[in-house]
Amino acid sequence: MVAQPACGLLGICQRQVTASFPKASRHWRKVKHAPKVANTLGDHLRLARIDRGLKQTEVAEMLGVVYQTVVKWENNMTPIPDRVFALESGDKGERILCFLEADRGTMPVERAKHDASSIARKLLAYAQTWKTGIHRSRFGISRVRVLTVTTSESRCQSIRSAASTVSAGHGIFLQTHITSGFSPETCLGCVWRNAANELGSLLD
């Protein structure tokens, strides 16, 4: 089992931006229609940028990325998992890249506004990332699983329903619910189900 830093997906590990914090941040939050409560990493990034009086183009220049990348980060279009690890099959020596989503039940599964944060939006972002083949180009691994761990079966069913609507790549999604601690070492013993509510295996 090989662990990978989640920030490695974004290519921003070991980067730091230093900027001043203006007194008029509350005013700019209102002017820029910033979210009142930061529920996602994208929200935190957007608020931090606005509070420091920075434009998206300026942040992009500081980090050495293109402007569109910052837009994707702030709009949660680039999935950022809670943990990334790889499973390796003993007989075949094949690796499977796993993105862990530890669902805390605070984010709505679906929302009427497609640009608002939701589980369905995150799943769509994962599917789009899978289609680009970044797992092959960056990690040299051809197979991917997005593992969502929740604390209730009803929540699992809602997430499965959202995953089933993804037009391409919905087969990479697996869900399970547990009542105690989860770790990559115990994931093989969990009962996983796919978007079609069929029993699934991490190694299939």
CB atoms within 10 A of CB 184: 17
Q: What is the spatial distance between Cα 10 and Cα 136, in angstroms, rounded to a whole number?
A: 15
Q: How high is the pLDDT of residue 159?
A: 93
- Cα–Cα distances (Å) from 61 to 16, 66, 67, 119, 167, in that order, read 12, 7, 8, 30, 35
pTM of this prediction exceeds 0.85 = no
152-197, pLDDT tens digit by residue?
A: 889 999 999 999 988 777 789 999 987 666 666 667 778 889 888 8
User: Mapping DSSP to helix (H, G, I), strand (E, B) and coil, where does residue 78 land?
Assistant: coil
Mean pLDDT within 120-137: 84
Instruction: Give residue 21's pLDDT band: very low, low, confident or very high (50, 70, 90).
Output: very low
User: Mean pLDDT of all residues in the chain?
Assistant: 77
Q: What is the spatial distance between Cα 5 and Cα 24, in angstroms, rounded to a whole number?
A: 35
Residue 187 DSSP code: G
Instruction: Give residue 4's pLDDT band: very low, low, confident or very high (50, 70, 90).
Output: very low
Tokens 């991917």, located at residue:
144
Q: What is the spatial distance between Cα 23 and Cα 157, in angstroms, rounded to a whole number?
A: 46
